[in-house]
Structure 1
Amino acid sequence: MPGEIATPAPAGRQASPAYLNWQRAQVRRRIGIVAAQLGLIAAFLVVWEVAARMLWVNPLLTSYPSAVTSSMITLLQDGVLFKHTWVTLVETITSFVASTALGVVLAVWLWLAPTARRILDPFLVVGNAVPKIALVPIFYIWLGPALSIYGIAIAVAVFIVLLMVHIGFEQTDKNKVKLVRTLGGTTWQILTKVVLPANRSVIVAAMKANIGLSLVGVIVGEFQSAKAGLGYLIVYGSQIFQMDMVMCAIVILGVISLALFVGISLLEKWITDVRLIRAEN
């Protein structure tokens, strides 16, 4: 009947017509969504190209897709684009791993030390609110041109992980915690058997937010001091007024951001599948 939710057919049984219809509807829905997304991208590129060709906008300031594509091919042939992309990618992944690990460790420490949490709460709020771009010159002086990129990226990204995971820990089911404690469980056992497993999804969500912030932090750091990387390429292109190069670097940044997000989503799916398999066993 309309409105009913079809459930997967049990293993070893032939799927019902209702389930097959539901499955086909889901496939059509996914195809429609992807088609709409590709259509929006195509429409944007067409409007951008036409607007620049017809001089509705100044092509010297906005460039246009065909010129960006030509610039990308030239940079790829010269090996320049791969070099700068690789530098930014390594810096982003390193900063992402470091900020995620640091944020989770600090969240665990705050959960283990309630007094410290009460003392540090206002400072964490202030630290998260401070515009991190204002710290770029300080990190440059303290850490030098190379390490300052990692410093600012970690500073940008660590607070979102810390706050999200910390809030998740605080919202863990109190009854489960009390039950384990009543049965003689230690604080470490409560953390590893109750709190952390209950917050897997929170940690993954924090990672999704963190990956984009890590990339933002790396680009901001590269603007200041880098001699390689996509941030450096953007600054260099703007200085010589080569907007094709600037737009090319921005497109590559979008591709990197999408690829990293998809990677985290696949990790989330894998964790979910592992949990389901363990639950069935």
Structure 2
Amino acid sequence: MDNIKQLHEQFRKKERRHAWLARSLQLLLLILFFALWEIASKKEWIDPLLFSSPSSIWDLFLAKWIDGSLWIHIWTTLLETGVGFILGTVLGAIIATFLWWMPLLARVLDPYLVVLNAMPKVALGPIIIVIFGPNISSSIAMGVIISIIITILVIYSAFQEVDSNYIKVMDTFGANKWQCYTHVILPSSFPAIISTLKVNVGLSWVGVIFGELLVSKQGLGYLISYGFQVFNFTLVLLSVLLTCVLATLMYVFVEAFEKLLIGKRKKS
């Protein structure tokens, strides 16, 4: 027994070392990238007007942070992305549930869902602007539309792949459809639902930023568009980097939420 504990502890230490090494290399790679970018810009190996430099981007960030003009754009994009992410995920899961509940409806809608999934959703941007108007609703709608279709398809497929023997056992004990759904279908599809959450983080950001590029007067997408218009590529790159940082933080939050749910499942 002691040998097993010893081996387990050695394995955990090895895993921690590998995790630490991976994080260190990731950080080193990031530092190396920005260092090379700074040197290339200062030495004019690349056009500093087009590609700017990390130091110029940092100076602009500090200036806008101090005068407070950046906050409204960050908050607007975070709000739109958060709402779009939640609506796209929840509505997609609800529709997937209806499709599982009503097989005839799933069969009728299947070709249309395939077409919608194949369609480049950004092409619907002008139509969405006409429907919702040139405001925050259009950006949120873009985030929802881009994430909802993939949510429906992934979660519904997970529902379909649940072992039918589990359903037969539930039927044997007289369970109704709702009990089969809550006790078998939903728990069995938990990994797919979590994967969908992670995918939807990126999709929601894509939809919202594109919506802001088209119509918004606030948000990081608007700053990207405005920076291009006035030929201020430092502002463009600052907005892009902020988008990357915020999207990463949102992804980390979803991962933490995943661990919380997994912990609760293990306890139950």
> TM-score band (shorter)?
over 0.9
- CA deviations over 1:97-137 (Å, ceiling 9, x no partner): 00001100000000001011111111000011111111111
How far apart are the structure 2 equivalents of 1:19 and 1:123?
Answer: 51
Which one of 10, 27, 32 corresponds to residue 21 of structure 1? 10
Cα deviation, 1:128-166, whole Å, max 9, x if unaligned, reads: 111111111111111101221111111111011111100
> C-alpha distance in 1, partners of 2:22/2:80?
33
Q: Structure 1 CA distance, aligned partners of 2:131 and 2:8?
A: 62
Q: Which residue of 1 aligns with 2:235?
A: 245
Mapped to 1, the partners of 2:71 and 2:193 lie a distance apart of 32
Runs of 4+ in 1 over 6 A off after TM superposition: none
- Per the TM alignment, residue 275 of structure 1 is displaced from its structure 2 partner at its CA by 1.3
**Mapped partners of 2:202, 2:100: distance in 1:** 26
RMSD of equivalent CA atoms: 1.2
Task: Name 1:12's counterpart in structure 2.
Answer: none
Provide the TM-score with structure 2 as the length reference.
0.96
Partner letter of residue 165 of structure 1?
Answer: I
In the alignment, which of 224, 231, 234 is matched to residue 221 of structure 2? 231
Mapped to 1, the partners of 2:181 and 2:16 lie a distance apart of 41
* Residue 236 of structure 1: how far off its partner (Å): 0.8
Going from structure 1 to structure 2, the CA distance change for 1:129 and 1:271 (only over 3 Å counts) comes to same
Q: 2:195 aligns with which of 205, 219, 223?
A: 205
TM-score (ref. length: structure 1): 0.91
Taking a change above 3 Å as real, the CA distance of residues 197 and 23 of structure 1, as seen in their structure-2 partners, is closer
Match of 2:75 in 1: 86
1:117-128 pair list within 5 angstroms: 117-128=106-117
For residues 29 and 229 of structure 1, the distance between their equivalents in structure 2, rounded to whole angstroms, comes to 39
Give how far 1:26 is off.
2.2
Aligned-residue offset at 1:23: 3.2
Match of residue 265, structure 1, among 252, 255, 260 = 255
Range moving further from structure 2, 236-245 or 94-103? 236-245
Tell me what 2:49 maps to.
Answer: 60
Deviation of residue 25 (structure 1)? 2.2
Q: Which amino acid aligns with 1:77?
A: I
In the alignment of these two chains, the number of paired residues is 265
Cα distance in 2 for partners of 1:95, 1:75 equals 27
Give the structure 2 partner of residue 45 of structure 1.
34
State the percentage of identical aligned residues: 35
TM superposition shift of 1:83? 1.2
AA partner of residue 189 (structure 1):
Q
d(CA) in 2 for partners of 1:241, 1:248: 13
